[in-house]
Structure 1
Amino acid sequence: PRVSRSSALASKATGYPIARVAAKIAIGRRLDEIPNRVTGKTLASFEPALDYCVVKIPRWPFDKFALGDRDVGSQMKATGEVMAIDRCFEAALQKAVRSLEFGKRTLLWEDSRWSKGEVDSYPLHPNDLRVWAITAALRRGATPEELSQRTGIDPWFIYKFQNIVDMERRLLSEPLKPELLWQAKRLGFSDEQIGTLADRLPEQLRRIRHEWHICPVYKMVDTCAAEFEAETPYFYSTYEKENEAEPLEGRKAVVIGSGPIRIGQG
């Protein structure tokens, strides 16, 4: 057994302690002899069950190396990565895109210099702008079936992008009401994104959201999809009703992350 960067990511995504289990196997223990500390009831042979979606996006350095070849192929070009967790793909994707820390570049972003021809051609070529190009093409009337056929991307993913674009259109055209705001937050829209589309300042939007009692809750990454009772300090935020995070007693400390993983950190 061995532990690599990929297995560290898998461990983070599932809550399964791969490094600890690999060390136990290395000294001769079997999977059915290693207890799962998260649940206290299952063994390491119990396959992790997920009731959430994880999205990983590479972090390319083309904001610093603007003249570099942006096409993505078999050669390693990413200098880091981000990972986001939520209940659905749309929300996890939007979290991950914001976590890339390209300024304020959310999925609403489009390069003002893009011509119609570029918007039509960009989705065809794997590069660091493909996510935004697909969204831009959908805004201009391209259909998921058409984009799937032209790009070779499974239509399931394109339809998820379409769900995000459809919500953008609703926020632009419909009055902002509690149900609409709730649905937008469920799809991963930030207060700033919703404010931009609904013509509100982020501070106003946040105040309205609190008045309507639309607040995030925290769900546990427990390796068993809540099938067993679990105890782990690993949570993700989402917009649902039930909160699984119990307040701790005594003094608390907040550790601020440094953003997306990049080469040279550590």
Structure 2
Amino acid sequence: MAIDINKVLLLGGGPTSIGHENELDAAAFERLIALRKTGAQIIYVDDNPFSVTSEEIQPANVYVQQVNFKNVVNIIEKEQPDAIMATTGGLNAMQIAWQLSESGVLSANNVTLLGIKPADLRKVIDNQKLRDLLTEISEKVIASKIVADDSEAMDFVREVGFPVIVKPISASHDTSRFICNNTDELEDALDVSFKRTYIKRCSIEQSIVGYKEIEMVGVRDTNGNKMLITGLEDMDPIGIHSGDSIIFAPTQTLINEEYQALRTATFRIMDALNVTGTCHVQFAQSRTDSNYFVTKVSPFFTRNTLLAAKATGYPLTYVSSFLELGYTFTEIKLPTKYSKYLPFMEPTMDHVLVRIPLWPFRDINDVDQHLNTLMKSVGSTIGIGRTVEEAIIKSMHSSQFSPRDILPSVSKVDDDDVINQLIHPLASRILILMEALRRGFSVDELSELTRIDRFYFYKLNQLLRAQDYVINNPMSPHSVQVGHKYGFGDGMLAELWNVNISEITRMNRNTKQPVTYKEIEPSAGEFIEATNIFTAAMNLKMKVNHFPAKQP
């Protein structure tokens, strides 16, 4: 049954920073559209100078202030809202919601926390309580301990051995995770972490570096009905922060049994936490068997929650807003552009999305550019295609890598440096992976060195083969078709063949291959929708045969 709310306080995500991007503001804007349909008055607090959401609310109802405990308390006491929505404000907003509950501010002012009950939120914020809950529902967790000093940390290491991961317990430094392989690295990590934590506690856990990182995004209503939006797979293994990894949606290398096990685990966790709305769960999946660990539970909007929504075209923020208000899936009416789609239909994808991070290293030269558990990217690009290869090329085309080259070359890097970067990756790692394939490294060798699944090397090798075929067969209609199939745009083909792009356009007309736009919607073409979200593609009416070349 829906909650009767006349005034709701919406917490913003704050200004953009590393690990804290403007997707949260986009989610808050979509939430605003949904909440307006309820007739409730919306009070918004945020200090994001570029917030679109704040511009769409009456100025008298907008507080341009830092989203912190003190400011939110003052707003609650002044405005007296019926409820507070914190899930689109990220981890910081959820931390504040927990503090409001623990301090008695919510109960004293009769404010309802939407999305998750305060008692269940505490299980998420308190690492030990979350571990106890996961153990209670038979979900595997990594050996971990909260420590107050170096001595307690060393006692833990003596029990589990190196490597271990150290991270401060701090909402504002969620991305700081340090892999420690020896005592010296542990001492350095503890020194930094204790300075960053606001309660002088650090979490230290057993390392599972090398496992696959899989992410699941689900939604749940008050009746316990659940649905998976999609699964996401990081190309890079655990040990590289998800924000710095190339991510694929849907998952690419899981067998069905593994996928279903993680889907079931996600639902079990959502039930245990009584979540209404969205929940993002991250897993470490073994590469050799079906074992997995739960690594993180986020019953709020995250960067990758919103990536899942973008990948599928599912109106996740809109639906989640009503779910948090107490509506069930069957009671939610989607916007008219989803003419036949129903909120309780699990999305189906007929395309692949790839996200490639962007880094600030061109402007900040004197920092360590190695990728590890500390997030360093400041944004990302996405590519969407019918195949993994097409999506990769489209994403690279928009990234920091030269947009005028098919596959930018790093051929001047010597062999020793290539091997070093395979083991200790930099931001340009996808180029190094391709260069290693060019130099004859086998797929098995590369997978062993990088802990990246063989599947991705076969896909990257297909791109190299496609490039070679296009280069060696200039101005051929079949080469154009091959290029289009693998995501090479007309400008890229023209650059390779050193001709004017009008020549490629003419060839497209002659072979009746016009540019078309594929709709991103959650039914994979089952229904005719009007989501207004499209990706460019070539209309390949002729079957493109594989180019004649040997497999590696």
Unaligned runs of 5+ in 2: 1-276, 278-299, 542-552
Is 1:14 aligned to 2:332, yes or no? Answer: no
Report the more deviating stretch, 216-225 or 101-110.
Answer: 101-110
Q: Which residue of 2 aligns with 1:187?
A: 486
Q: By how many angstroms is 1:151 displaced?
A: 1.5
Match of 1:114 among 409, 413, 417: 413
For the pair shown, the structure with the greater C-alpha radius of gyration is: 2
The one-letter code matched in structure 2 to 1:190 is G
Instruction: Give the Cα–Cα distance (whole angstroms) in 2 for the partners of residues 204 and 64 of structure 1.
Output: 38
SS in structure 1 at match of 2:326: coil
Alignment equivalent of 2:352, drawn from 53, 63, 70: 53
* Pair 1:36–1:156, CA change in 2 (3 A): farther
Q: 1:59–1:100: 8 Å Cα contact kept in structure 2?
A: yes
Indicate whether 1:177 and 2:476 are aligned.
Answer: yes
Amino acid at match of 2:409: E
Would the aligned equivalents of 1:107 and 1:135 in 2 still touch at CA under 8 Å? Answer: no
Q: Which runs of 5+ in 1 are unaligned?
A: 243-266
**Closer, same or farther in 2 for the Cα pair 1:179/1:35, shift >3 Å?**
farther
Distance 1:5 1:212, change over 3 A: same
Select between 118-127 and 222-231 the one with higher mean Cα deviation: 118-127
Partner of 1:24: 322
Q: Structure 2 residue aligned with 1:137, among 436, 442, 463?
A: 436
Larger RCO (alpha carbons 8 Å, 6+ apart):
1
Q: Structure 1 CA distance, aligned partners of 2:346 and 2:326?
A: 20
Q: Deviations over 1:129-184 (max 9, x none)?
A: 11001111112222323322222111111111000000111122234321221111
Q: Distance in 1 between matches of 2:493 and 2:437?
A: 19
Deviation of the 1:240 alpha carbon: 2.8
SS at match of 2:521: coil
Query: Which residue, out of 362, 369, 375, partners 1:70?
Result: 369
1:4 to 299, 302, 310: 302
| The structure with more strand, counted as a fraction of residues | 2
Q: Which moved more, 1:143-152 or 1:106-115?
A: 106-115
Asked whether the equivalents of residues 3 and 22 of structure 1 are also in contact (C-alpha less than 8 Å), the reply is no
The residue number in structure 1 matching 2:187 is none
Q: How much has 1:60 moved relative to structure 2?
A: 0.8
Distance 2:497 2:443 in 1: 25
8 Å CA contact 1:97, 1:107 repeated in 2: no
Alignment-mate amino acid for residue 45 of structure 1: F
Q: Does residue 127 of structure 1 match 2:426?
A: yes
Mapped to 1, the partners of 2:327 and 2:414 lie a distance apart of 60
Could you list the per-position Cα deviations for residues 79-138 of structure 1 after superposition, in whole angstroms to 9, with x for gaps in the alignment? Answer: 111122111111111111111144546452123541232233322323211100111111
Q: Which of 216, 226, 234 lines up with 2:515 in the alignment?
A: 216
> So what's the TM-score if we normalise by structure 1?
0.82
Report the secondary structure of 1:153's partner residue. Answer: coil
Deviations 1:193-231 (A, max 9, x none): 323433434443344334433332111112000112222
Distance in 1 between the 2:514 and 2:444 partners? Answer: 35
User: What SS does the aligned partner of 1:16 have?
Assistant: coil
Q: Which range moves more in the overlay, 65-74 or 107-116? A: 107-116
Partners of 1:105 and 1:117 lie apart in 2 by: 28
With 158-167 and 134-143 compared, the bigger mean Cα shift is at: 134-143
* 2:417 counterpart SS class: helix
1:144, 1:162 within 8 Å by CA — same for their partners in 2? Answer: no
Structure 2 residue aligned with 1:197: 496
Secondary structure of the 2:457 match is helix
Of stretches 194-203 and 181-190 in structure 1, the one that deviates more from structure 2 is 194-203
Answer whether contact 1:110 1:136 (CA < 8 A) is retained.
yes
Which amino acid in structure 1 is aligned with residue 463 of structure 2? I
Partner of 1:41: 340
2:321 is matched by which residue type in structure 1? A
Closer/same/farther in 2, CA of residues 15 and 28 from structure 1, 3 Å limit: same
Amino acid at match of 2:476: K
Match of 1:261 in 2: none
Whole-angstrom distance in 1 between the partners of 2:434 and 2:489: 17
Q: Distance in 1 between the 2:411 and 2:435 partners?
A: 11
Instruction: Note if contact 2:313-2:521 (Cα within 8 Å) is conserved in structure 1.
Output: yes
Residues 231/23 of structure 1: CA separation in 2 closer, same or farther (3 Å cut): same
CA gap of 1:108–1:6, structure 2 versus 1, over 3 A, is closer
Q: CA 1:203–1:229 in structure 2 vs 1: closer, same or farther (change >3 Å)? A: closer
Q: Is the 8 A contact 1:164 1:187 kept in 2?
A: yes
> How far apart are the structure 1 equivalents of 2:440 and 2:501?
29
Letter in 2 for 1:73: N
- Provide the C-alpha distance between the structure 2 equivalents of 1:199 and 1:105, rounded to a whole number of angstroms: 12
> Matches of 2:351 and 2:440 in 1, distance apart?
30
2:533 aligned to which of 216, 224, 234: 234
| Cα distance change of structure 1 residues 201 and 89 upon mapping to structure 2, 3 Å threshold | same
On the 8 A contact 1:145/1:155 being kept in 2, the answer is yes
RMSD: 2.2
Contact 2:353 2:385 (8 Å CA) reproduced: yes
**Structure 1 segments (4+ residues) deviating >6 Å:** none
SS in structure 1 of the partner of residue 338 of structure 2: coil
Partner of 1:80: 379
